[in-house]
Amino acid sequence: MDMEAERAECDKKLEECIQYFRQRPVYRKLFVKVWDKYQSLGHFGGTVRLSGLTQEECGLLGGFFQRDFWGKEPVSISAAAMEKALGNSRFSGLSWERILQGYFRKELVGKKEQRLQEDMRRDRFFAGILDAAPAGSGRAWLEETLRTKGEGYLLLRKQYREQPHKLEENLRLLMRAIHRLPFLSAGEEQAACELLAVFAAETTGDPHFFDAGTPGEQLLTAFLKQKLSETLVREDFQRETAGIPGTEGQRELLTVEGKARLFYEAGLLRDELSNNTLVYGITGMGKDGEPHEGISGFLKRREPLQITLMTMRKLARVCPQKEKRVYIVENPAVFSKLMRAWPEAAIVCGNGQIRLAALVLLDLFDAETAFLYAGDYDPEGLQIAQRLKECYGERLRLWKYSREFYERYQSDVEISAKSLKKLEHVYLPELQEIKQAMLQKKKAAYQEAMLGEYLRQV
């Protein structure tokens, strides 16, 4: 018999064998177990166990294996027993590997081999993207990330597993966008800044491509973290460098502002609402070495100024108008009262929250400038105070913070259970007495009621 005829005879026997087992459903139970065992071991071997078989199923198994399985629980069948039974059957000459592959109509490979094949497919995928990518910072980042498993590697793996075709498209658009980043683009001023939605629309065709939480935003964040690793906002690493213990809740609290600062360093503004802060009593020096006439004009007229990130990006530094001291308050009403009472002071208003614009402004003061912060006595206010203390350490003093003041100016406003839960994340030693009193009283104290107290001590 020639080889072709022999192969045809073998294929015919294999088909008969597969049909034999398919006509007896109990063998699916056996073969599923054997398939899983093969994947685990990487070869045909070991023993499988079947439970809950009916008398009929035991009879069908026994007919092939020439054994009585009835009454045995569980039924154990070894690879050796399967090899022996196959060799004694009319299907001898076939292998269990071929039978299983024909039965399930797919390739039989071990998990280790599957992982190797998957690694090879993934490597080919990214190699294809790199081959098509233009030279530049984006391609260099992707090459380094894949080589060193650095910032963004796990993100790339995750997006590859979920939607490889979408990842390919997102990386193509990301490369195009990176080339146009304000802080990287040749010929643009260092101070150039652009709204994120506008930048996304111009570089990817989709103004929402870099919206918070999107794959595009996650990829751009990974690139910027690596590229701007030395200029990341201090909240992202303050605890580690200062040796201060933190919690998941605190890290999550800082993520939004940290990411906003990261994008700001790259020349991208996320939105208009958080891009300004209210300030009084400062002067500003531009990066061109000239005083900022607009800021000087507001100071000359004794008026407050809404200063934007767009403006701050063009400044080299800012200074208090007199003493090396800046008052920071949470609420506009307090800001307005202090501004009128202390016309020679420098005052910043957080307007209920210390956002990116306020942090960027404070960073423009020199290291010799001291900060005094006053805010509400509620869980959110304590968190703000703690964040600022983390950022500026000994430069910042918590002003008028004591249990005595909290109890003296306590309001009738009940703090909700949800809000009280936030106190779990307040760990700063200076705030512990107030925290404990707040947990007992469950009432808030607002700084508007403390105006007279603030004015008694400069």
The helix/strand/coil state of 76 is strand
Shared domain for 346 and 205, answered yes or no, is no
Q: Can you give the pTM of this predicted structure? A: 0.64
DSSP-based three-state secondary structure for 229: coil
Average pLDDT of the residues of the chain = 86
**What is residue 304's predicted lDDT score, i.e. its pLDDT?**
95
Average pLDDT for residues 190-217, to the nearest whole number?
87
Higher-confidence residue of 254 and 180: namely 180
- Give the pLDDT of residue 239: 39
Q: What is the pLDDT of residue 185?
A: 67
Which of the listed residues 200, 223, 246 is the one where a domain comes to its end? 223
Q: Is 316 helix (H, G, I), strand (E, B) or coil?
A: strand
The reply to whether 177 and 189 lie within a common domain is yes
pLDDT score, position 62 = 87
Residue 424 pLDDT = 93
- CATH number of the domain at 310, please: 3.40.1360.10
Percent of the chain clearing pLDDT 90 (strictly above) = 52
Residues 73 and 163 in one domain: no
In this structure, what DSSP letter does residue 249 have? H
pLDDT above 90 (res 416): yes
| Residue 39, pLDDT score | 82
pLDDT-derived band at 36, boundaries 50, 70, 90: confident
Residues 317 and 425 in one domain: yes
Q: Does one domain contain both 99 and 119?
A: no
pLDDT band with cut points at 50, 70 and 90 for residue 256 = low
Answer yes or no: is pLDDT of 279 > 80.
yes
In the numeric block, the tokens 């020199």 are attached to 366
Regarding whether 326 and 204 lie in a shared domain, the answer is no
131 contacts 213 by C-beta, under 8 angstroms? no
Q: What gap in Å lies between CA 425 and CA 414, rounded to an integer?
A: 20
Query: What was the pLDDT predicted at 262?
Result: 86
Domain count, the chain: 3
Lowest mean pLDDT: which of 64-73, 190-199, 238-247?
Answer: 238-247
Question: Do residues 362 and 439 both lie within one domain?
Answer: yes
In a domain, 254, yes or no: no
Lowest mean pLDDT among 147-161, 222-236, 281-295, 308-322: 222-236
Task: Note down the domain range covering 103.
Answer: 3-108
Across 349-359, average pLDDT: 84
Say how many Å lie between the first and final Cα of the chain, rounded: 108
Say if residue 96's pLDDT is above 80: yes
As a whole number, mean pLDDT of residues 353-361 equals 86
Same domain, 103 and 118: no
**98 with 116, same domain?**
no
Q: Does 284 lie in the same domain as 371? A: yes
Beta strands in 331-406 (DSSP E): 347-349, 370-374, 396-398
Q: Which pLDDT does position 168 carry in this prediction?
A: 93
pLDDT exceeds cutoff 50 at 438: yes
Q: Quick one: pLDDT at residue 408?
A: 93
Q: Are strands 305-308 and 325-329 parallel, antiparallel or unpaired?
A: unpaired
Helix axes 79-87, 55-65, angle to 10 degrees: 60
What percentage of the chain carries pLDDT values higher than 70?
A: 90
CA-to-CA separations, 276 to 296, 309, 312, 327, 347, in angstroms, rounded: 17, 6, 9, 17, 14
187 pLDDT above the threshold of 70: no
Burial status of residue 47 (CB atoms within 10 A of its CB: 0-12, 13-18, 19 or more): middle
